Amino acid sequence: MTPRAAPAGLEVAADSLTSALAAQEGGAMRVELCGGLDNGGLTPSFGSIALAREHLRIPLHVLIRPRAGDFVYSPLEIEAMRRDIEQCVRLECDGIVVGALTPSGEVDLVTMRALIEAAGSLSVTFHRAIDVSRDPLCALEDVAALGCARVLTSGASATAIEGAGLIAELVYRAGERLVVMPGAGIDEHNLGPLRAATGAREFHASARSPAQGAAPFLPGLDAAVPRTDAARVRRMAAMLHGGG
């Protein structure tokens, strides 16, 4: 298996079916479905996953994260994650996005092996837990040894642009073993420079724009609801497909 030989493409983080369909319309290569995107992303509801699976023609990966905060999980949280993964298998999703760390900041190999086993043949992405690990370069080796298909990273920085140097090192060290996919703060304005700086081929973005809410007349509610913008996805996908 040589994942980096695949064409460059854009994965879109979508926290609703509306955003997932916009990602598909815009030419995304894949959707990462999540809930609570403004809190870093959480496991979406069963209904959201089921509807996305029914309506999407592109690959569907599902974020498995039971709560916000750190990535050190209790036995009950791990069991909840395992059961969520089993639902993804039953719904015939294409992959999961997951990560777990030990209290000392290393990849939690025991937990990850159990979750990967539950995923069966589904593709596994290790998410941005790597960015708060004790040593992202060592964590990359653990993720590769686990057999994950890719790792999502901002280069241990607030944004992928700020972490471009470390991302480039991760891309180099990963070689053909797995895909290193930059994410965090990526848009059509910095995608080209980030691609040139890192050598990455897959990129992760939400491509959101404010959209009118359904009930703007309700007091105290923000009528501007951020949703994936198909036009923004289209521009970013075109940049990658055209080599720009």
Three-state SS for 161-207 is: CCCHHHHHHHHHHHCCCCEEEEECCCCCCCHHHHHHHHCCCEEEECC
Look at residue 223 in the predicted model and tell me its pLDDT.
61
Query: Chain-wide mean pLDDT for the chain?
Result: 93
Q: State mean pLDDT over 66-86.
A: 97
CB proximity list for 119: less than 8 A, separation 6 or greater: 85, 88, 89, 95, 96
User: What is the residue whose two structure tokens read 């359904």?
Assistant: 214
pLDDT tens for each residue of 134-155 = 999 999 999 999 999 999 999 9
Domain 8-124+184-209+225-239 has CATH 3.20.20.380: yes
Q: Is 216 helix (H, G, I), strand (E, B) or coil?
A: coil
